[in-house]
A and B are shown apart, each in its own frame.
Chain A
Amino acid sequence: MAERYSSFAPGGTAWLLQRITAAFLVVVLAFHFFLLHFVNHAAEIEFAGTQARMENVGYFLTMVLFLVAGTFHGVNGVYNALINQGLDGTQKKVVLAVLVIASLALIAQGIYVATTMAGWT
């Protein structure tokens, strides 16, 4: 049984970064779900609680890293899946540009939102 299916060319930079971000995401994503569904019920989330968490620099940095890693991992995954489906040439360049702009916008917006939550704006 040596089958392996992947959208990534094994051993490349995109492949490696996809795996490094994955290893980080396992931990923070599990932590995030646990914190915001079981420790604090999602329905009881209030601004005050969010602020109390975000004011903590360690938590703030973890969330920003989570945002950056999640965005990269997700968008890189989508991009590689499309290349795997045969995306090429000009189309490939356009898709890459759109994805990079969308990612940067998402990260910028997320960091801005997080600073507001922490009350630092």
Chain B
Amino acid sequence: MSQSYNRGLIEDFGRWKEFSAGMWAWIFHKFTGWMLIGYLFTHIAVLSSSLTGPEAYTNTIGGLESLFIVRVLEVGLLAVAVFHILNGLRLLMVDLGVGLEAQDKSFYASLVLTAIITVASVPTFLDGVTL
């Protein structure tokens, strides 16, 4: 199915100018994966305010959500998550041997779809917040 060939030292990030689409997909996937696990730790920390009491929880989340910068970061998180999901699905297909010829195209499709979903979500994510 997949033939192997010498791809050089792929860990050498200094060679980024020579990267192919698949290489970029891999880098983006890593980057978004690390963002997500970082967020998960932060998320549980924020939700832990519920241990202090219901008011602390409601006020903590309400306080964060009233900040414009938090909303912007949330849009960023959505973009990161959507890309990781779509590209992750693509990787699962590749592992199953589906659509191997269309890998580049499906990577670009993931990027475009991520952009569309992110832009379409901006109104909802910025609803009711001011600068």
Interface residue ranges, A against B (CB under 8 Å):
1-7, 10, 19, 22-23, 25-26, 29-30, 33, 37-38, 41-43, 45-48, 50-51, 67, 70-71, 74-75, 77-78, 81, 84-86, 102, 106, 109-110, 112-113, 116-117
Contacts and interface: CB of A to CB of B under 8 A. Distances in A.
Contact of B22 (A3, A109, A112): A3
Contact of B40 (A30, A43, A45, A74): A74
Interface of B: 1-3, 7, 10-11, 20, 22-23, 25-26, 30, 33-34, 36-37, 40-41, 44, 47-48, 50-51, 54-55, 57-58, 61-62, 65-66, 74, 78, 81, 85, 88-89, 91-92, 94-95, 100-101, 103-104, 121, 124-125, 127-129
A85 B11 contact: yes
Contacts, number: 116
Contacts of B66: 43
Main secondary structure of the interface of B (DSSP, over half): helix
Main secondary structure of the interface of A (DSSP, over half): helix
B50 A117 contact: yes
Given A29-B85, A37-B121, A86-B11, A4 B92 contact: no
A3 B103 CA distance: 9
